[in-house]
Amino acid sequence: MISASILNGDLAHLAEVAELVRRAGADALHYDVMDGCFVDNLSFGLPVLETLRRCTPMPIDVHLMIAQPHRFAERFVKAGADLLSFHIESDTDPAETLRIIHSLGIPAGIAVSPETPAEAVLPYLPQMQKDDFILVMTVRPGLGGQAFMPETVPKIRTLRRIMTEQQLPLHIEVDGGINAETAAICREAGADYLVAGSYLLGADDPAAAVQSLGKITD
C-alpha cells in the first residue's frame, strides 16, 4: 500500500489534493493527527477528517500522534478513518486501545518512534489481527519534511523476521523521508506499507512518483 500524507498538500484545497492522489495511483490518504502534547506540533482534528471523508472514496489511514489515543479512537473511526494507528509511547494501555479499535471493525496499527526498540511491541503481536500493522517511524514524529533515519531499518528487519517466524498476517508501515531510494531500502527490509508526503505531493508528476516507490500488491 502506498499512502500519501496530506500534511504536505495544499490545506486550503484538500478535496483537490485527494483527487490528485487518487489519479496518481496511490492507495490511501495518510492523515496525521497531532495534539501539541504528545508531539510539539498541531495538525488536523475530527472536523477536517469528517470533511475529507465526504470528499473522497479513498481509504484514509489515520495516525494518532496524541497523548491519550484510547479516548478518541471511536470518534476518529466514526469521522471516517479506515485504518487507525496510535503510538506505543503514548499515555495508554496498548492492549486496551487495540481492543477498542478492533471493536470498531477496522485494522489497528501500533506506531513506534525511532528511539523505541522493536521489542516494545512484541507483547502485543499475538493480540493483533489480520491486516493490522506496525508503523515504524523513520523520522521523529511531529514534523514533515525530515530526512530518513537509516538507523531505523534494522527495526523493520527484526519485526518482519518475527512476523514471518510466527506466521502473523501483519503489515509493516514506514513513515518519514520516503522517496524512491528509501522506499527500496524499506521494502527490502520487509515493509509493505509506505507513507510518502513531500515526495509525492511536491512532484511534477505525482503518478511517476507513485510508480517509483514500487507498487506493492496487498
pLDDT tens readout for residues 190-208? 999 999 999 999 999 999 9
Supply the pLDDT for residue 216: 52
Q: With DSSP H G I counted as helix, E B as strand and the rest as coil, what are the percentages for the chain, rounded to 5? A: 45, 20, 35
Confidence of residue 15 (pLDDT cuts 50, 70, 90): very high
Check 10, 27, 32, 192 and give the catalytic one. Answer: 32
Q: What are phi and psi of 193, to 5 degrees?
A: -120, 125
Taking only Cα atoms into account, the Rg of the chain, rounded to an integer number of angstroms, comes to: 16
CB 137 within 8 A of CB 113: yes
For residue 190, give Cα distances in angstroms to 13, 131, 161: 34, 15, 8
CA distance 154 to 138: 11
**Mean local confidence (pLDDT), 115-138:** 97
Q: What string of DSSP letters covers 91-146? A: SS-HHHHHHHHHHTTS-EEEEE-TTS-GGGGGGGGGG--TT-EEEEESS-TT-SSP
DSSP secondary-structure letter at 58? S
Task: With beta carbons less than 8 A apart as the criterion, state whether 106 and 86 touch.
Answer: no
The pTM of the full predicted model, rounded to 2 decimals, is 0.95
* Residue 32 a catalytic site member: yes
The string of pLDDT tens digits covering residues 132-179 is 999 999 999 987 668 999 999 999 999 999 999 999 999 999 999 999
Is pLDDT at 70 greater than 90 in this prediction? yes
* Average pLDDT over every residue of 95-106: 98
The reported pLDDT for the residue numbered 146 is: 81
For the chain, give every domain's residue range.
2-212
| Separation of alpha carbons 40 and 65, rounded Å | 10
Catalytic pick from 27, 35, 61, 175? 175
Mean pLDDT of 24-41: 95
Of 171, 170, 167, 199, nearest to 183 (Cα)?
Answer: 199
Q: Give catalytic status of residue 35 as yes or no.
A: no
Q: Under CATH, which number does the domain 2-212 receive?
A: 3.20.20.70
In this prediction, residues 87-110 reach a mean pLDDT of 98
Question: What is the mean pLDDT of the segment spanning 3-18?
Answer: 92
List b or e across 65-80, with b for residues whose CB sees 16 or more CB atoms inside 10 angstroms: bbbbbbebbeebbebb
Mean pLDDT of 205-212: 96
Is residue 56 helix, strand or coil? coil
